[in-house]
Structure 1
Amino acid sequence: MKKIVFVGAGSMAQAIIHGWMKEATVAPEDIYVMNKSDHEKLTSLNEKYGVQLVDDDRENIKTADLIILAMKPKDVVAGMKSVAPYLSSNAVVLSVLAGVPMDTIENGLGKRPIARCMPNTSATIGMSASALACNDLVKNVDKLELIRLLKTIGTVIEVEEEELHVVTALSGSGPAYIYYYVEAFEKAAVASGLTSQVARDLLVQTLAGSAEMLKQSSDTPASLRKQVTSPGGTTEAGIEALQESGFADILARCLKESETRSRELGKRYL
């Protein structure tokens, strides 16, 4: 897939482009970007990364190997309408839009190879957790190329399209939940006497170390937790406070509400 066109230049498109440029995955001259109205953003991307801008006559789109739908979900119908007349029948379409089903994309761009991916903004630093679902028209060679491209911005897991609703809630929105956790814990630590910077430095390293332990250890999260929790100790007191506050139920509700919203969005675009 030599020529790639991004339809939309929002935060996800920018994160992917930044990741690809950082890892030298795709040459900037092979990446084209278009956006509905924010020409200042397009100019910024061109100046920062050297990527190309789609011409007003859409000639660039006609020879694209991969089209990446990266506009806001509410703009998907108008966005597809603006590029549909110019697409080659061989072009593969990859959507990074939350909730928008393949059926909607097929209605807008015709029956063709279509894949959906739910990355997250950690793509910017090559640490995205991405899930990929493909329709039956995506050739294996193209699927492998998509996986290769996505692996340069993090990990990739293949799933069924139906599973993307939960993936969106878990890892697509996940960074925001982690940042919210740090925000709340930092505020509590400051209230207990630490400076904001000291609290954040300790929290960030604690998260990084815990994540690496989860990656390297064959133990379950529950087992790792118990290894830190001495009977009658400080950790146990904190865990008990979390349990009394319904921490597990709160996380379950968080995931379910986000998944439900993803399903609602999907129905909106059918």
Structure 2
Amino acid sequence: MTFKSESGQVTTISKLNICFCGAGSMAEALVRGLITKNLTKPQQISMLNRKNMVRLRELHGRYGIQTIEQGLDHDELLKNADVVLLAVKPTDSVDTIESMKHLFNPRQLIISVIAGLSIETMSRLIGMSMPIVRTMPNTSATIGLGVTAISYSNAVSDEQRLVAEKLFGAVGITEVINEELQNAATGVFGSGPAYAYYLMEAMIAGAGKLGFDSDASLRLVVQTILGAAEMVRITSEHPAELRSNTISPNGTTQVAIDLLEQFSLKETITKAIVKAAERSGEMGKELEMKIN
């Protein structure tokens, strides 16, 4: 993996300085992916978090990454970064970017995992032309099975695209999309694990109501969901087709599906996904209003 610097020199990704702004679970997942996949060394990764020094100490001890806890200077870490990855909460994003934008320079690649924050809004906040990558990973990235939707500003070079895709490829699969689909990606894939957990909660409750103890209910439901997902992946058949294959006329599965259809479960889930996507758009507008 290579990255072309401002001078035109080509450098391997392992030589790049990557600075994470934010030290939450997603930032940690990406750090772990980069290190375990041997894409770079801990010495090339730094992490900033203004409010929680204990967290920085913990992550340094776990991965060997660089923080101000080792006596390094906050501003210098940002200035010397080839890649700046913004992983703060949406509510903190405007203040965070405004506080550090004077330390950015055009040779750096900016990558955001902030929900709702558009490339245009980031450009306005930064106040100069920079290559910007907008992404939406989901929480399954923490175990290396994430889905990340990626969009690029026009200033992002081919080499920088490869860097971004390699970085998020270390924690799952990636899909490059037009930015106008980012809110939709948030509603479907970003929030998607929660929908699966919600279904599992209902199945576990049903198993308990029918006499299974909590440990058995959890274990067997997890395996059931895992097996169903693997069935789709391995066979490449559409879920609707696989569902149809499991149903016998007037059988147990048929009466269960009929009840779900009676309560319009599929339509409700679809509406929920659209609602989540709309909320992502609303969050983006709220951030724009904050700037104005």
Structure 1 length as normaliser, TM-score? 0.96
Q: Which residue of structure 1 lines up, in the alignment, with residue 3 of structure 2? A: none
1:57 shift after superposition: 4.5
Residues 198-246 of structure 1, C-alpha deviation per residue, up to 9 Å, x if partnerless?
1111111111111111112232211111011111111111111110111
Matches within 5 A, 1:1-270: 1=13, 2-54=16-68, 55-109=72-126, 110-270=128-288
What is the Cα-based RMSD across aligned positions, in Å? 1.3
Task: Give the CA deviation at 1:25.
Answer: 2.9
**How far apart are the structure 1 equivalents of 2:280 and 2:266?**
21
What amino acid maps onto 1:103 in structure 2? E
Partners in 1 of 2:217 and 2:19 — Cα distance? 42
Cα-to-partner distance string for 1:54-83 (whole Å, 9 max, x where unaligned) = 434511111211111100011111111222
Q: Which residue identity is paired with 1:268?
A: E
Name the CA distance, whole Å, in 1 between partners of 2:95 and 2:40: 28
Runs of 4+ in 1 over 3 A off after TM superposition: 54-57
Indicate the SS of the match to 2:212.
coil
Structure 2: distance between partners of 1:237 and 1:143? 49
Indicate the SS of the match to 2:117: coil
8 A Cα contact 1:63 1:88, kept in partner: no
In structure 1, the gaps of 5 or more residues are none
Gaps of 5+ in 2: 1-12
- Whether the 8 Å contact between 1:132 and 1:158 is mirrored in structure 2 is yes
Q: Which of 155-164 and 7-16 deviates more?
A: 7-16
Question: What TM-score results when the alignment is normalised by the length of structure 2?
Answer: 0.89
Cα distance change on mapping 1:34 and 1:66 into 2, 3 Å? same
2: CA distance, partners of 1:197 / 1:57:
47
Q: In structure 1, how many angstroms separate the alpha carbons of the residues matched to 2:241 and 2:94? A: 48
**How big is each residue's C-alpha offset from its partner over 1:66-109, in whole Å with a ceiling of 9 and x where there is no partner?**
11110001111111122212223200000001001111111122
Matching residue's letter, 2:230: E
Count of aligned pairs between the two proteins = 270
CA contact (8 A) 2:79 2:103 kept: yes
Is this contact kept in 1: 2:150–2:175, CA < 8 A?
A: yes
State how far apart, in whole Å, the 2-side matches of 1:235 and 1:30 are: 54
2: CA distance, partners of 1:57 / 1:162: 34
Say if 1:140 and 1:239 are closer, same or farther in 2 by CA, change over 3 A: same
Following superposition, the deviation at residue 20 of structure 1 comes to 2.7
